Chain A
Amino acid sequence: DAKTTQPTSMDCAEGRAANLPCNHSTISGNEYVYWYRQIHSQGPQYIIHGLKNNETNEMASLIITEDRKSSTLILPHATLRDTAVYYCIVRVAVRSNDYKLSFGAGTTVTVRA
């Protein structure tokens, strides 16, 4: 799996958009970008994933650059409950033996009132 680089931490004001960057310069053509988050003492929560087109769901938007070497997760209106560690992971989306996630240190996002 390609490696990812994320900032260690970032702060965000409640109600504002939170933009979380991720670099994945060695991503392969068949690897997707996945985002998870982990709120303290809970299991990681799947947020979104994408290949090359921008994606949006009820939780967030994912913007992937045209060269696919970086992406940004956008939380449109951050709330205090969005305070968590956010993990950016690249992996093949549909391959029956791709069962493992390799987590890095992630970005600790703190939403402040």
Chain B
Amino acid sequence: KAGVTQTPRYLIKTRGQQVTLSCSPISGHRSVSWYQQTPGQGLQFLFEYFSETQRNKGNFPGRFSGRQFSNSRSEMNVSTLELGDSALYLCASSPLDRSSGNTIYFGEGSWLTVV
């Protein structure tokens, strides 16, 4: 079974631009969540989607948004990029059902550098 796939793996953007990151969950997984990882703050939860609905959001400004499609694939968007948005953005998926449990599996991440 293929793992969580994130694209692109690396990208460089300029301050003020926007960026869209994509995530394909493990087949059959309906929950997709996003995390930001920086050296100073560690791994922080951004938001989680289940059946195309955002169920909860971490403590990030409104510039960070996401969505989930009917095939469970997800995208996250960051608008008006700031230098501090430079980070590793991680997508994770989980089956969230009683038979499979809800172990969360991560992708390799998208490295975003804002210059």
Interface string of A17-47 (1 = CB under 8 A from B): 0000000000000000010100001111110
**List of B residues within 8 angstroms of A96 by Cβ:** 50, 96-97, 102
* CB-CB contacts below 8 Å: B1-41 with A: 4, 6, 31, 33, 35
User: How distant is the Cα of A17 from the Cα of B111 in the complex, in angstroms?
Assistant: 33
8 smallest beta-carbon distances between A and B, as pairs = A43-B106, A103-B43, A99-B48, A44-B106, A43-B109, A43-B108, A100-B45, A43-B90
Interface string of B59-84 (1 = CB under 8 A from A): 00000000000000000000000000
B interface vs A, CB < 8 Å? 4, 6, 31, 33, 35, 42-43, 45, 48, 50, 55-56, 88, 90, 92, 94, 96-98, 101-109, 111
Closest to B88 in A: A41
**List of B residues within 8 angstroms of A49 by Cβ:** 103
| A102 CB, min distance to chain B CBs, angstroms | 8
| A38 CB, min distance to chain B CBs, angstroms | 8
User: How distant is the Cα of A64 from the Cα of B107 in the complex, in angstroms?
Assistant: 28
| A7 CB, min distance to chain B CBs, angstroms | 17
Asked, given contacts A43-B90, A44-B43, A103-B43, whether A97 binds B55 with beta carbons under 8 Å apart, the answer is yes
User: How distant is the Cα of A94 from the Cα of B92 in the complex, in angstroms?
Assistant: 17
A interface vs B, CB < 8 Å? 34, 36, 41-46, 49, 93-105
Is there an interface contact between A94 and B56, defined as CB atoms closer than 8 Å? no
| B3 CB, min distance to chain A CBs, angstroms | 9
Closest to A87 in B: B43
- Residue in A34, A95, A105 whose CB lies within 8 Å of B42: A105
